[in-house]
């Protein structure tokens, strides 16, 4: 696999990282695959290059830097707050055809002032791109997964449906398909009639006993990864989810929320108005949203030049709040993208909760944008 050339603007980029008092780190090209398969999201999972070690451990070529940087931080027991920067190759299958390309970025770990950290990071992304693309007009689109989660939870859906909708955030096609299922529930197909009758009766003890008998008869029990009780409860949950219907007014509210798209300077009032009209309690999520806007304004960033889209997300499962992307005005190629991932370090093994936010720069796309028009 041939290596690509380091972009000629790399020295300017490293200078920007130094000015922002980041610690530059590198991570091995060969990474354990499990964290990416478990936490990175379906879009990235489809593009990973997998391999195995001599002992059978599942490995992969580094598909991104956030997870490796977080793992390194945990392994080295480095205190926080800590700002890391990186520049190196990542490897993934891409629609553009190339399989390896350079990414750079900043990971800001442990800053407890969430709003200030979000604003600083957005300012970093815009500031760095402005230096690399002088005189170009940039467009920033911002979303907030925490606000979406607050809306979904306020509608009172079963936890399983909340998880499904939150998992689909940012994938409008998948989200619309789930909303359609909530509008028109479909029965669970393919169940054994006796199992179906026991599910309908609500007799869990007899259901568990029947599943146990079936497993013994078929010989499945010796290799089963789940107990009869776990299988029974999974079937009960599946039935509950299949039968759940979101009433028309709630479905209309959720769809109305997802259509919100307006200048960031107008977003706070629009969200507050939506919450009041819908009688939804979104207080903490909206308070954090407002604090971020105030921090962005205090940093001198033009909120009217940024766009808030309620349905906007990014195709990585570990995001928890802010998500954003930067493009050149009139173009579709994402030059920088990132967001907040406050749960990731705990999931990767950190003993304490570590708030985190970061962004990546797509250097091949920036290089294309720098070419004379």
Residue numbers belonging to the annotated binding site for L-histidine: 64-66, 92, 103, 107, 314, 318-319
- Decide if 99 contacts 91 (C-beta within 8 A): yes
| DSSP letter assigned to residue 162 | H
Instruction: Let me know how long the chain is.
Output: 373
| DSSP labels, 72-138 | HHHHTT--SSEEEEEEEEEE---TTS-SEEEEEEEEEES-S-HHHHHHHHHHHHHHHHHHHSTT--E
Distances (CA, A) of 227 to 24, 188, 234, 236, 296: 48, 21, 11, 14, 51
| DSSP labels, 197-234 | HHHHHT-HHHHHHHHHHHHHHHTGGGT-SS-HHHHHHH
Which residue ranges are tagged as binding site? 64-66, 92, 103, 107, 314, 318-319
Tell me the C-alpha distance between 70 and 345, whole Å: 6
- The closest alpha carbon to 142, from 289, 44, 360, 318, belongs to 289
Tokens of 10: 């790399």
Q: Which residues contact 124 (CB under 8 A, 6 or more apart)?
A: 20, 106, 359
Tokens of 27: 């991570």
Tokens of 298: 């205090």
- Decide if 318 contacts 341 (C-beta within 8 A): yes
- Decide if 327 contacts 153 (C-beta within 8 A): no
Burial of 344 (0-12, 13-18, 19+ CB in 10 A): buried
Tell me the C-alpha distance between 293 and 228, whole Å: 50
């Amino acid at each position: 696999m041939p290596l690509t050339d380091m972009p000629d603007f790399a020295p300017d980029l490293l200078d920007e990282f130094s000015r922002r008092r980041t610690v530059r780190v590198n991570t091995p090209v060969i990474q354990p695959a499990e964290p990416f398969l478990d936490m990175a999201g379906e879009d990235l999972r489809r593009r990973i290059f997998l391999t195995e070690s001599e002992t059978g451990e599942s490995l992969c070529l580094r598909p991104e830097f956030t997870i490796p940087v977080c793992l390194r931080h945990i392994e080295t027991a480095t205190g926080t707050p800590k700002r890391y920067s990186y520049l190196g190759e990542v490897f993934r299958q891409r629609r553009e055809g190339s399989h390896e390309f350079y990414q750079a970025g900043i990971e800001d770990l442990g800053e407890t002032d969430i709003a200030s950290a979000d604003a600083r990071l957005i300012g970093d992304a815009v500031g760095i791109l402005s230096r690399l693309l002088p005189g170009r007009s940039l467009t920033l689109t911002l979303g907030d997964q925490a606000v979406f989660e607050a809306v979904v939870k306020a509608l009172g859906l079963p936890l399983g449906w909340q998880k499904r909708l939150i998992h689909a955030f940012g994938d409008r096609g998948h989200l619309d398909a789930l909303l359609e299922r909530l509008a028109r529930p479909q029965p669970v197909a393919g169940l054994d009639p006796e199992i179906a009758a026991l599910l309908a009766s609500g007799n869990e003890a007899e259901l568990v006993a029947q599943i146990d008998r079936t497993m013994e008869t078929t010989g499945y029990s010796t290799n089963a990864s789940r107990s009869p009780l776990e299988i029974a409860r999974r079937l009960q949950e599946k039935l509950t989810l299949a039968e759940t219907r979101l009433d028309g007014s709630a479905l209309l509210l959720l769809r109305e929320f997802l259509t919100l798209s307006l200048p960031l300077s107008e977003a706070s009032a629009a969200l507050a108005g939506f919450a009041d009209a819908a009688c939804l309690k979104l207080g903490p999520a909206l308070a954090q949203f407002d604090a971020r806007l105030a921090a962005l304004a205090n940093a001198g960033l033009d909120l009217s030049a940024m766009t808030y889209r309620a349905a906007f997300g990014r195709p990585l499962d570990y995001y928890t709040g802010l998500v954003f992307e930067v493009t050149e005005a009139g173009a579709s190629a994402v030059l920088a993208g990132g967001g907040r991932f406050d749960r990731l370090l705990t999931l990767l093994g950190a003993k304490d909760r570590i708030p985190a936010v970061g962004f990546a720069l797509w250097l091949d796309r920036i290089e294309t944008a720098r070419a004379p028009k």
